[in-house]
Amino acid sequence: MTRTLTVKIESFPIAGVFRIARGAKTEATVVTCMIGEAGAIGRGECVPYARYGESMESVVAQIETMRGEIAEGIDRQALMERMPAGAARNAVDCALWDLEAKRTSRRVEDLVCAAPPAPLVTAQTVSLGTPEEMAAQARDSAGPLLKIKVGAENDAARLAAVAAAAPDSRLIVDANEGWNETNLEENLRAAAQIDVALIEQPLPAGKDAILGEIPHPVPICADESLHTADDLPRIKDLYDAVNIKLDKTGGLTGAILLRDRARELGLSVMVGCMVGTSLAMAPAVLLAQGADFVDLDGPLLLKRDRIPGLVYADSRVFPPEPEMWG
């Protein structure tokens, strides 16, 4: 039977302003892909990212180029060969996983998880601001795991302010490529002084060779420097961990491959996200079972989420129910 394809752009307002080193946003705009067959519909969501040369229009166009092959029944492995890694392939790949689950009445978790999936403690994001603003955010969140957005001047003061405001929280620091060789070691020392658990992408991708030459008083995680398993040989001696995002790997299929190969190399694994809805987080929750760090709070940053959405409670995110995804 011929499959159908529907692609649409959707926007979800953010609660307040989400600010990182590269700028601020007040809404999450996503691309939703729906693939239908024999009365079943599989869904996937992606977040095009300008940092990687993507736009809403380019991602929609990229998905549309696959319309014929989707209609003919392309599978996930063939999709890996036909589309490059990125947001467009992520939406299609996740829609195919969901479609298979709904057509066969077999849960995705049964196919990708070694054990029944459990709720996961997810980081809660402290958006970039003044030290005082970030301390206030940290006090309001006060969860067991906070992710601090930095990457500007005087980050040591921001780190100290958040640590003082949330003394019982474990901290991840995300510089979003905002540090440089001049302030790198000073910022690493400041992070070590407050027992930061992990630092994400301190230097710009492609300008991070120095990470192989200096001590790491805090483990350093590759984000923008790593997209797929093919990048591991290049970064494995520079970083201690990898941040796996489905919009970078091009879907759950590629993300599983990256996760498993990273573990073989002795790298810690973080599963992260762009700012999207529960539909984007659902496959990542399954991927993140057993991960060292989980950062899947995207829907918590929104004024409204999809219905039904994932359940978030007590800093935990629960696995998706089948009517939502998978």
Kindly name the residue from 102, 147, 236, 245 that is annotated as catalytic.
245
Buried b (16+ CB within 10 A) or exposed e, 276-286: bbbbbbbbbbb
State the maximum Cα–Cα separation within the chain, in Å, rounded to a whole number. Answer: 61
- Do residues 47 and 30 touch, judged by C-beta distance below 8 A? yes
248 in catalytic set: no
303 in catalytic set: no
DSSP 261: H
Q: What is the chain's alpha carbon radius of gyration, rounded to the nearest angstrom?
A: 19
Kindly name the residue from 102, 147, 149, 236 that is annotated as catalytic.
149
- The strand pair at 268-271 and 293-294 is best described as parallel
Task: Report how far residue 127's alpha carbon sits from residue 303's, in angstroms, rounded to the nearest whole number.
Answer: 16
- The strand pair at 120-121 and 316-317 is best described as antiparallel
- The strand pair at 198-200 and 170-174 is best described as parallel
Q: Which residue has the tokens 């700028």?
A: 23
Q: Which DSSP string corresponds to 224-292?
A: TT--SGGGHHHHTTT-SEEEE-HHHHTSHHHHHHHHHHHHHTT-EEEE---S--HHHHHHHHHHTTT-S
Kindly list the catalytic residues. 149, 245
